[in-house]
Amino acid sequence: MKKREMTRPVQVGSYQLGGQNKVLIQSMTNTKTHDVQATVNQILALEKAGCEIVRMAVLDEADAFAIKEIKPQVHVPLVADIHFNHRLALIALDGGIDKIRINPGNIGAKENVMAVVKKCQEKNVPIRIGINSGSLERDLLEKYGKPCADAMIESARKHVDILEECGFYEVETTQLNDWCCISFKLK
């Protein structure tokens, strides 16, 4: 069995990821997050099955605002999976979300990422950088000619660098979908 690599721990709600902490069971809802009752019911079912962290898609403002209603009804840390609009992360953070998951390549300019970082720092909330073939930046697609593991790794590193330029180190990079799955912490 391969020895686990020592990484910097990240706090997500009452749990700590990384370091030498145990691996946590995480899942994602498949409800429309703005359907509060259906989402709460699914999270409670996931909790009962042993899930320790739950991620929800946040596709629009209705989803982002629903977090404030969902959070008090469940018992596990919640992750907001942000798509295309950094303002949704800001709303989710005000709603009490425990972790933000972004595809930096699809939320726009560096300033948008920096706005999310600033609010995460204020709220002491970590960011998960999720990279997949559908979220690669145009320049990396041109450089590599197609989605590939090297392009996804370069994208993840580039965005970790942006976060660290802002003095933000509560970063989890995972989910290099379609090609590989890694979790690592830089520095």
pLDDT, tens digit (0-9, with 9 covering 90-100), for 88-139? 999 999 999 999 998 766 777 888 888 999 999 999 999 888 887 777 888 8
Q: Return the CA Rg of the chain.
A: 16
Note if the pTM is more than 0.85. no
Q: In what helix (H) or strand (E) does residue 78 lie, and over which residues does it extend?
A: strand 78-82
Short-list 169, 174, 122, 123, CA closest to 153: 174
What's the pLDDT tens digit per position in 47-73? 999 999 999 999 999 999 999 999 999
Q: Hey, what CATH class is 10-174 in?
A: alpha beta
